Structure 1
Amino acid sequence: MVEGRSKAVFKQWLAARPKEWSRQIEVVAMDGFAGFKTATAEELTHAVPVMDPFHVVRLAGDALDRARQRVQQDTLGHRGHSGDPLYGVRRTLHTGASFLTEKQTARLDAVFAVEEHVEVEATWGTYQRIVAAYREPDRKLGKFIIQHLIDSLTRGIPGTLIELRKLGRTLTQRATDILAFFDHPGTSNGPTEAINGRLEHLRTSALRFRNITHYIARSLLETGGFTSALHPRLR
């Protein structure tokens, strides 16, 4: 753990690593933060940056949520309330199409049958295609699906599909890193995200805990970093 979240901080940390250690790094899994990508490109010129699927799917999911909220506001004039059609399917929209029950499918069909909801349906379709690409057993086919999707989002998207246009720009900027996943299957920063989740929980309970040295120690305790020292038999 180091203090700060920026390109400069990550770049300085990488530069301080032993050269032998750096040479062993082949792939770097990351989220969508551009600072991590540029720092990696400058300090680990031989490594392949891969944007983690979780973050790509989350980008699409965020676009879906924003489209739903915008259409909700435009059609009903208020944020989602219990009983509102779009609000009622907010979680179902994020369920993979292959896992939908008959009841969930019927609810979505009813929502999408409303003409004013067409923009939500279009954004939902893009979200589902991204999810399906990552679940595709054939990596070459999955890569093709993602590549075709990114290409389709860069042209011919109506101006009313605000969220899809923005998503298309983001995916295009990181297309190389996104597609690299299919050439390096299994690459994930999931373990890092799991640890980060524990640290977020710690931070909410630590309140005004600001001493960085103490914070690192507390974080190591929270995530099992001292396990081998406290329990020698687990080494």
Structure 2
Amino acid sequence: MVVVDHDARRLVWTAPGRNSATVREFFDFLGPERCGQITHVSADGADFIDTIVAQKCPGAVRVSDPFHIVKWATEALDEVRRATWNDARALARNEPKRGRGRPRADAPPRPGSERAKGLKGARYSLWKNPENLTENQQVKLAWIADTDPRLYRAYLLKEGLRTVFQLPLDAAAEALERWISWARRCRIPAFVKLQRSIVKHRARILAAIEHNLSNGLIDSTNTKIRLITRMAFGFKSPEALIALALLTLGGHQPALPGRR
């Protein structure tokens, strides 16, 4: 587990494990007085983190990381995509086989096979932001819009939730309410389930927009720690890695012999 300071932009504390005991260990290390000085806490959607933060820092504003919220929507979209592809493959297995070479002009159509072939490679067309799509991916997305309204609706739901985080607070609150209403009646189980989680985290989502907080600094710190891991290779305990991480990323400047 990694804890960073948003203001100082440095690593504050880290320990092995990612569970409620680890989170509680950090707040016990701080003590009640310093816990009371914490004003904002950003984290992913893990319930065990939120529960302990509410106990230890009841006055802190709790923020849900936008990246993880959009990731939930992407995972729901991918669940719909996989189900659609599997349905097409199941249909294709029941279609008559074709021999080698070009099919005859009077050969029966094979919609399942054509559909499965079209959906192959559609993952990145659905995952990527519209402004980052290649020309081929734009064509693939347009094909999905024409041939599979349900999958395309799931894509629009994902994009709608992502757009919420790009709006000012008042507009974002209104857009989030509209998204929840849309997802609730979309008749796509993955997104109906997702909207329940969004409703649960609604206040923290809006807090992330209001205070412009995310876990981006934590993700950056984790990337740097993975690089430091190479330096700690061969040590028998995580304490060596933790010490290197705190020395490198924690802002510590110990006095060295012979240095001024």
Q: Shorter-chain TM-score: what band?
A: 0.7 to 0.9
1:9 to 22, 25, 28: 22
Matched residue type, 1:24: Q
Alignment of 1:176 onto 2:203? yes
On the 8 A contact 2:42/2:65 being kept in 1, the answer is yes
Q: 2:55 aligns with which of 30, 42, 49?
A: 42
Structure number with higher relative contact order (C-alpha < 8 Å, ≥ 6 residues apart): 2
1:8/1:39 contact within 8 Å kept: no
Amino acid across the alignment from 2:202 = A
Structure 1's unaligned 5+ residue stretches are: none
Could you say which residue in structure 2 is the equivalent of 1:196?
222
| Structure 2 counterpart of 1:72 | 85
1:151 match: 181
Contiguous gaps of at least 5 residues in structure 2: 1-13, 93-115
Does structure 2 conserve the Cα–Cα contact (< 8 Å) formed by 1:14 and 1:43?
A: yes
TM-score, reference length from structure 2: 0.72
The alpha carbon displacement at 1:55 in A equals: 0.8
Q: TM-score, normalised by structure 1?
A: 0.79
Task: Please report the RMSD computed on the Cα atoms of aligned residues, expressed in angstroms.
Answer: 3.0
Are the equivalent residues in 2 in contact too, given 1:50–1:180 (CA < 8 A)? yes
CA distance in structure 1 between the aligned counterparts of 2:222 and 2:74, rounded to whole angstroms: 20
* Residues 54-63 or 68-77, more deviating: 68-77
The yes-or-no answer on 1:165 pairing with 2:192 is yes
Q: How far off its partner does 1:57 sit?
A: 0.8
Q: Secondary structure at the match of 1:84?
A: helix
Aligned equivalent of 1:127: 158
Deviations 1:115-150 (A, max 9, x none): xx33321110111111212122x3211221122212
Q: Partner amino acid for 1:85?
A: G
CA–CA separation in structure 1 for the residues paired with 2:229 and 2:223: 10
Separation in structure 2 between the aligned mates of residue 128 and residue 231 of structure 1, nearest angstrom: 52
